[in-house]
Structure 1
Amino acid sequence: MAHQLRAVGLDFVESAPVRFVFVREMAAPPEAVHRALADDVPGWPEWFSAVTLARSTGDGSTREIHLKGGGRFQETVLASEAPEVYAYRVDVANAPGLRTLVEEWRLAPSGAGTRVRWTLATDGTAAYRLVAKLARPGLGRAFRDAVTALDRRLAK
């Protein structure tokens, strides 16, 4: 059953009890990566395999996300500063024990390409925090695969 999560700001990325940071280099320039993240929300399932549906809602400041396995999220965009950052907070989720979740994508030039840093900041019940920590390797793999697929997509 979906439930309302605690509203936090972008500063939660630095203070979250559970925080994962993953980094990957891409050949695509930061502007193209930011456009794919922020402007082509419906395109996310084409490169992020865990996402089955992604769409902007309202005036584009909110999103609806569906994941493989049945995860459902309503999100608020916290920052969309091209080409450096794209971040969002989950407001409503059906994940048991989840209380707060913010994801931040930081983009920096790296040669002709982009250095992508994805931070997942979260909190929840003790059981949720344990499961989240155990999921770290899978999240890292999902990030690497997604960035690789996005880079291929942007090269076309």
Structure 2
Amino acid sequence: MTRWYALDEADAGFLDTAPHVFRYEMHYDATPEQVWESLQSDESLAAWGNTIGSLTWTSPRPFGVGTTREVGTGPIRVRERFFRWDEGSGYSFWVYEANAGLFRRFAEDYRVEPEGDGTRFTWVIALEPARALRLPFKVLAPLVKAGFGRPAADGQKYFATR
């Protein structure tokens, strides 16, 4: 049986004040409607590449504030709860449980905006590592940022082939 670790709640303010905030901005060759449709699809970011191994919405449609889902990347699985849902333009969530005790708090924000003939996708990841991992995260932050950024880059390739 999987052991789940509870994380402290995070909100919009945490996206600016977290010890580690990683920001990714990408241009996608797709309309904002296409990107939004993909983000809220059954597969969501898992369709963009192999970085996200599994994604299951655990709330019924229509999605909105309070929606939950479970996401897996390699051996790590997290359960997310949405605290912002702006239909067509973005959403934010915090991780409320993870199967590994890596984080104290973790939140993400996705923004979809028109940009020329495509879409500007802005993704912010905010995290506070568990106490014992603070120093390693500080030292490894550039590698952690690169790893977390792979799905955004996967999205660029995904939409370029559509």
Same fold (TM over 0.5): yes
The question of 1:47 aligning with 2:48 is answered: yes
- 1:132 and 1:76 map into 2 onto residues whose CA distance is 27
CA contact (8 A) 2:51 2:151 kept: no
Select the residue among 8, 11, 14 that pairs with 1:12: 14
The question of 1:64 aligning with 2:73 is answered: no
Stretch of structure 1 that moved more, 86-95 or 44-53: 44-53
Select the residue among 26, 29, 32 that pairs with 2:31: 29
Which has more helix, going by share of residues?
A: 1
Closer/same/farther in 2, CA of residues 8 and 138 from structure 1, 3 Å limit: closer
Select the residue among 146, 153, 156 that pairs with 1:148: 156
CA contact (8 A) 1:48 1:145 kept: no
Report the CA distance between 1:58 and its aligned residue: 2.7
Which one-letter code corresponds to 2:158 in the other structure? L
Which one-letter code corresponds to 1:147 in the other structure? G
- 1:37 and 1:22 map into 2 onto residues whose CA distance is 16
Any unmatched runs of 5+ in structure 2?
none
Report the CA distance between 1:82 and its aligned residue: 2.5
Q: What's the CA shift string for 1:81-135, capped at 9, x where partnerless?
A: 1322122211100233311111111111101210111100000221463366131
The question of 1:98 aligning with 2:70 is answered: no
Alignment of 1:107-146 (within 5 A): 107-124=112-129, 125=131, 126-127=134-135, 129-130=137-138, 133=141, 134-140=143-149, 142-146=150-154
Between Structure 1 and Structure 2, how many residues are aligned?
151
- 2:33 and 2:91 map into 1 onto residues whose CA distance is 12
Select the residue among 2, 14, 28 that pairs with 2:4: 2
- 1:110 and 1:143 map into 2 onto residues whose CA distance is 20
Stretch of structure 1 that moved more, 126-135 or 83-92: 126-135
CA contact (8 A) 1:34 1:86 kept: no
- 1:72 and 1:49 map into 2 onto residues whose CA distance is 15
CA root-mean-square deviation: 2.0
Any unmatched runs of 5+ in structure 1?
none
User: Percent identity over the alignment?
Assistant: 24
Stretch of structure 1 that moved more, 56-65 or 117-126: 56-65
- 1:99 and 1:76 map into 2 onto residues whose CA distance is 15
